[in-house]
Structure 1
């Protein structure tokens, strides 16, 4: 992608018109953008390479590697990467409904459980897929779950702390945000990668049904103590089954935490479709339904458009 040149300001490579800023990080801004030819809206993460130290550069390459690897209906797609001398542009799928943190903050007592179940099942589905590919997210929190309202979906984003892991091998990097971090990360121990994501799933489910984080004290040292003691209180309006699932994920000892199979098979999550997205992934027209005439005309256009020769297409 390095062949791209950045044109005048506000356009990347002549392909995307940049619009308003959606968010800011240390080295990056996320902007709304529109594809010049198709008009499709995307999110563009603009990274200033001049501000990156080696650690940040490492995270960035890791993010790009992991996002290229994980292609799932409940994970924000990385469409392309445009690299210029001073900046790196990640062209990402754009959610139309804000993030889950803002959504939770609008529900003081938490969401009703049917709704919480619908969203939580999709997040579990996405993490389960990542772990099968040996990718651990390590920064799971409601801010990194985005709504796609038209599709009726939530999708995971921000793989800046993600990493490849080898089953049985421990990781040592501490990362993520305090209120969502597992005890073993905060201790600076080596840790089992997948179990860290499970802990964060427990925090997310707690927030969905309670409307606030389980460990959020007046200051960081108190929050830290509560996490280390694994002290939290589930309000009485939460059902016993839901409380049981939260308790199985928020276990101080990573070995005692529920596995993803146990979470997916848990009584509370039964009867909910973890993958409503698959409905959108079937092709609209199957070649079996095409008439001979339509079939020939499509091949004709592909040949004329120099996409391939007839033999290759028919094959």
Structure 2
């Protein structure tokens, strides 16, 4: 990994649409890039996009290493996603927080840049490329259980639509960057014939996620969008959390929120009921949903009403898991009553994760 640095706007460098290695339909034809970024990096494939950002793979030419670059569109950053610094300036909170986090199961911050229109968050590119086999988890003919689809995701409180390339001639399809195969847990699960993980695989993944959440919680941080698509995984099953755009840092006692952050399929009952909620208990609920999805390939709830009432459906649970302690962990994570729901400390100490 090359040294982490910070870089702001330097002398403008304008690259036409034919400039090698720097052009994407996400940018205008004559976009002005940060000069040091332009000097050191070559943009490759696109990885994905969200409400106010998009992510591309880039080659760091001096080191020969690939990384992930998140381009955050300044004009689309919601008010809650800014953080005021001691010198009076402000940065997207994701840059500030990720720069401060150092954990084995959180993607590594490398450096950041900015230009007139974007912040560039350069991060470690972790995971193995899992080729997409279908758009969403398969629903069996014998089940009406809903799958957890990528289309349910939101990454801003304004629920902005995904960024789309401008409708101009230089954004013709032949100029599009190719999409690189996904590195996330969703696609890892899709590689399996049964569209689910074995108990040992699910335990291996969840242990790492829980360790990351436990570490963050100990520093007053809550990710607030734990889901399969925000977990990257390699072929050795090393897991890391990504996308800290909804992450919040809070002092004790933890405040209550009235605005939803995250993904609807992973939302806790109190969020779905539009009640004031605290971030840590809602995070534990998301962990429970994630566990069920890994073990079955489906959501534990048929409808939002079922989630609000705690009607857990495990029709697709393999027979060999019917007596597993995993069921108790699912139950305590998906408890409707926040006061009875497990804390992240209790999840971490659960016997199923101690095997």
Q: Normalised by the shorter chain, which TM-score bucket?
A: 0.7 to 0.9
**Which residue is equivalent to 1:309?**
none
**Which residue is equivalent to 2:308?**
228
Within a 5 Å distance, the mapping from 1:187-226 to structure 2 comes to 187-215=273-301, 217=302, 223-226=303-306
Q: How many residues align?
A: 264
**Which residue is equivalent to 1:240?**
324
1: CA distance between counterparts of 2:300 and 2:309? Answer: 12
How high is the TM-score relative to the length of structure 2?
A: 0.69
**Structure ranking higher on relative contact order (CA contacts 8 Å, 6+ apart):** 2
- 1:62 Cα offset (Å): 2.2
Q: Secondary structure of 1:184's match? A: helix
Q: Secondary structure of 1:101's match? A: helix
* Aligned partners of 1:146 and 1:155 also within 8 Å: yes
1:34-86 deviations in Å (ceiling 9; x for gaps): 10100110000112223445355569722222212221010011211101111
Of 150, 157, 161, the residue aligned with 2:242 is 157
**Which residue is equivalent to 2:211?**
125
Change (3 A) 1:18 1:196: same
* Aligned partners of 1:109 and 1:209 also within 8 Å: no
Of 6, 14, 17, the residue aligned with 2:42 is 17
**Hey, which of these two has a bigger chunk of helix by percent?**
1
2: CA distance between counterparts of 1:109 and 1:84? Answer: 42
**Which residue is equivalent to 1:293?**
none
* Aligned partners of 2:81 and 2:94 also within 8 Å: no
Change (3 A) 1:176 1:100: same
**Which residue is equivalent to 1:87?**
118
Greater displacement, 12-21 / 122-131: 12-21
Of 29, 54, 68, the residue aligned with 1:43 is 68
Within a 5 Å distance, the mapping from 1:170-189 to structure 2 comes to 170-172=255-257, 173-189=259-275
Change (3 A) 1:53 1:156: closer
Change (3 A) 1:6 1:179: farther
Change (3 A) 1:127 1:49: same
Within a 5 Å distance, the mapping from 1:104-143 to structure 2 comes to 104-107=189-192, 108=194, 110-143=196-229
**Which residue is equivalent to 1:102?**
187
Ranges in structure 2 where 5+ consecutive residues have no aligned partner = 1-6, 23-32, 84-89, 129-182
* Aligned partners of 1:18 and 1:31 also within 8 Å: yes
* Aligned partners of 1:43 and 1:91 also within 8 Å: yes
RMSD over aligned CA atoms reads 2.1
2: CA distance between counterparts of 1:40 and 1:4? Answer: 24
Matched, 1:268 2:352: yes
* Aligned partners of 1:183 and 1:228 also within 8 Å: yes
Q: Secondary structure of 1:82's match? A: strand
1: CA distance between counterparts of 2:60 and 2:45? Answer: 14
Rg (Cα) greater in structure? 1
2: CA distance between counterparts of 1:255 and 1:106? Answer: 38
* Aligned partners of 1:145 and 1:157 also within 8 Å: yes
2: CA distance between counterparts of 1:35 and 1:5? Answer: 20
Q: Secondary structure of 2:105's match? A: coil
Of 232, 236, 258, the residue aligned with 2:342 is 258
* Aligned partners of 1:4 and 1:13 also within 8 Å: no
Change (3 A) 1:246 1:6: farther
Of 149, 167, 180, the residue aligned with 2:252 is 167
1:88-144 deviations in Å (ceiling 9; x for gaps): 100011023210111223343521111111111011011000000110111100100
Q: Secondary structure of 2:54's match? A: strand
Greater displacement, 130-139 / 227-236: 227-236
1:277-297 deviations in Å (ceiling 9; x for gaps): xxxxxxxxxxxxxxxxxxxxx
**Which residue is equivalent to 2:231?**
145
**Which residue is equivalent to 1:291?**
none
